[in-house]
Chain A
Amino acid sequence: MKKISRPKPAKRPKREENKESTRQAILRAALALFADKGFYTTTTKAISRKAKIAEGTLFNYFQTKEDLALYFFEQELSGVSDWYRRDKRTQNTPLPEKLFAIIHRFLERLSPYEEFIGAVYLRALQPSSKLSPLSLQSQEHNLRYLRFIREILADAELEEEIPKVGDIGAYAFGIFHLAMITYWLQDRSPGKEQTLALLDRCLKLATHLLKKGGWDW
């Protein structure tokens, strides 16, 4: 099919690209500072200095540290779904292992920024915060993630690994994922192995329950 040519096709993507790389640079600088000094004590001034941009420019990209946090989560979530789409081995495993690998992958990506995420979690409890699960901004990236999970569950439904769970399944998994992050944040066991055990058992149990339609004892 013949493509319809648009006026000035090259410039826009270029500008978008530049913007994106600045955004990335800011995030990298912020994360390094959060890991080093903590989320609360890091100032926007320090971030802009580290990212080598003017403080005013920083505000063009992120109005608050919360916006930075949102962007961070968005990046990490799409990082996980990109990884999953590339990883053929994981795609061919049974559902409990797939879901385990997804959450574990996510936790692995978060692990260098544990303190920062803990702080973000506290913020997210305030309904006025942009990070609150009720805010429009966070709903937007939530939805993208839920669709990703919905696809995986739909595959499992087709393979008859689980009965039809529909959108509810993806929502339930989303809530479970949040709960696991909370558990992981406070897990003080060596290597956070309690989280691994809990994650494994919950997923196996849930799949088992869905398959059998009840607890067989």
Chain B
Amino acid sequence: MKKIVQPGALARGFRLGKLGLILTGSYLGYQAQNLLLGEEERAEREQRFQQKASRRVRQELQSLKGAAMKIGQIFSLQTHALSEEAIKELATLQMHAPAMHPSLARAQFKSSLGKYPDEVFREFDPEPFAAASLGQVHRAITRSGEKVAVKIQYPAIRASIENDFKLLRSATFPGRLTGHTPTAVFEEVQRGFLEETDYIHEGKNLDFFGGALRNFTYLTIPRVHWDLTTDRVLTMSFVEGLTMSEFLKTKPSQSIRDAIGSHLVELYYFQLHKLKTVHADHHPGNYLFQPDGRIGLVDFGCVKRITFNATDLINCVVARSWRESEKGARQVLGLILGQNVPYRRARKMLPLLDEMAEILHPERDDSVVNFGDAKMLEALGRAMGVTVRDKLANPEFAFISRADLGLYSLSHQLRAHVNCKQIWRSVLDM
């Protein structure tokens, strides 16, 4: 079979190449100017450049549909080529696919399931109500009268992701971004991406979490309709609720916001400690809220099994074990950084750990964390950013940190007061 060159690949390659050019091009200019500037001015200029460059990175990446965007996110964790500013910008990226008009959505549904939506549903809304990673979601009613959400993937996304990776491996992407990324990381990332394109896999995740979290009565996880699901179409029960921004507009009371914040933290701790598997995509769009504080969790494309011992780490943080003895300090640093980083270098992290511990598990009696405090979020982001950016961290810790930050930023939007320490204890007893 003759291999057809994808028309998209060429254009995307060109764009990626151009991005490299813009970055390296202006970076050179910046270096040259540096020679002529004073210290203070230099710092200011550096900041300005970084902001401009990171905005440029985001704009370029956002116009590249497909994998390139998530790759932007991953580079922001895996390398220190980009500054904190850039990391902030990149963290806002979402995995977008082009929108499908009703005729295309219908055609793609048929291409995957063999029948048109109106042949298998009682009702099908041709206009999507939400964008999803790699596709879009439509409302429908099954023959038996159940309300469902039908997620349809943009056609040939998988092939286009494979192309993106081929390009990234080639010399087009700027060396500054890829130079530090080992092949193994690349392959891991690619595997993760391709997994995300498979809705069967996501359906299995839904089944798994639906079962494992069934005792949390405040939580709703959609049920998969396997007879109407393929690798590119996912049909699941419809979950009612408002998105974060809609929910906040209803001016929910402090106690409801606190309850939701506590639920979110509880669910997350339970996943880390009991399931050793986390729903890692804390994008606000993946959560739906009801006035009484119930939570709907949708989109299980990005789920990660962890081998990293999060339970030990949180226990150490709660107990401040590093203050007790060198052995204690070695243990906690080993968890975060892996065993390869020499202790002399690793222990420089301890003040940061103190800072993080004081924020999340304060030693004060009431030990309630006010997530509404912007300074807190900033300090957490900074502390984690330093660890991850210095490429010291164990990759799983880096991944978990990203998920953590997502959760904290959700709680911040809720302005929730949460007693993390108490919740952690109760999860340990479950």
Contacts and interface: CB of A to CB of B under 8 A. Distances in A.
Do they bind each other?
A: yes
B104 interface: yes
B101 A104 contact: no
A90 interface: yes
Interface string A166-204: 000000000000000001001011111110111011101
A38 interface: no
B296 interface: no
Contacts of A197: 8, 154-156, 160
B78 interface: no
A217 B102 CA distance: 28
Name the interface size band of chain A: 20 to 34
A152 to B, nearest CB: 14
B7 A193 contact: no
B4 interface: yes
- In this complex, which of A93, A190, A197 has the most chain B Cβ atoms within 10 angstroms of its Cβ? A197
B102 A194 contact: no
Nearest to A102: B103
Interface string B1-35: 11010011000000100100000000000000000
A200 B104 contact: yes
Contacts of B98: 200-201, 204
A53 B215 CA distance: 72
A191 B102 contact: no
Contacts of A93: 101-103
Contacts of B70: none
B107 interface: yes
A193 B232 contact: yes
B359 interface: no
- In this complex, which of A100, A189, A191, A204 has the most chain B Cβ atoms within 10 angstroms of its Cβ? A191
B111 A192 contact: yes
Interface string B296-330: 00000000000000000000000000000000000
B232 A188 contact: no
A203 to B, nearest CB: 10
A70 interface: no
Nearest to B8: A201
Interface string B240-258: 0000000000000000000
Interface residues of chain B: helix, strand, loop or mixed (majority): helix
B403 interface: no
Name the interface size band of chain B: 20 to 34
Nearest to B108: A196
Interface string A101-127: 100100000000000000000000000
B120 interface: no
Contacts of A100: 101, 103-104, 107
A186 B104 CA distance: 20
B348 to A, nearest CB: 44
B111 A90 contact: no
Contacts of B232: 191, 193
Interface string B142-168: 000000000000111001100000000
A194 B103 contact: no
A94 interface: yes
A97 B111 contact: no
Given A198-B7, A201-B8, A189 B101 contact: no
Given A193-B232, A196-B107, A198-B7, A97 B101 contact: yes
A96 interface: yes
A183 B156 CA distance: 14
A200 B231 CA distance: 20
B239 interface: no
B112 A193 contact: yes
Contacts of B100: 200
B101 A196 contact: no
Interface in B86-119: 98, 100-104, 107-108, 110-112
B365 to A, nearest CB: 59
Contacts of A188: 1
A189 B156 contact: yes
A104 B156 contact: no
Given A189-B156, A189-B159, A201-B7, A196 B104 contact: yes
Contacts of A104: 103, 107
A36 to B, nearest CB: 21
Interface in B156-203: 156, 159-160
Given A196-B155, A197-B155, A201-B7, A191 B103 contact: no
A17 B61 CA distance: 61
A96 B101 contact: yes
Interface in B251-271: none
Contacts of B107: 100, 104, 196
Nearest to A200: B104
A206 to B, nearest CB: 12
Interface string B338-369: 00000000000000000000000000000000
A55 to B, nearest CB: 38
A189 B101 CA distance: 21
29 contacts: A93-B101, A93-B103, A97-B102, A101-B103, A104-B107, A186-B2, A186-B4, A189-B156, A189-B159, A190-B111, A190-B112, A191-B108, A191-B232, A192-B111, A193-B108, A193-B112, A193-B155, A194-B155, A194-B156, A196-B108, A197-B8, A197-B155, A197-B156, A197-B160, A198-B156, A200-B100, A201-B7, A202-B7, A204-B98
Given A193-B108, A196-B104, A197-B8, 14 more contacts: A93-B101, A94-B101, A96-B101, A104-B107, A186-B4, A189-B156, A191-B112, A193-B155, A196-B111, A197-B154, A197-B156, A200-B98, A200-B100, A201-B8
**Across chains A and B, which 6 residue pairs bring their CB atoms closest together, nearest first?**
A191-B111, A193-B155, A197-B156, A196-B155, A197-B155, A97-B101
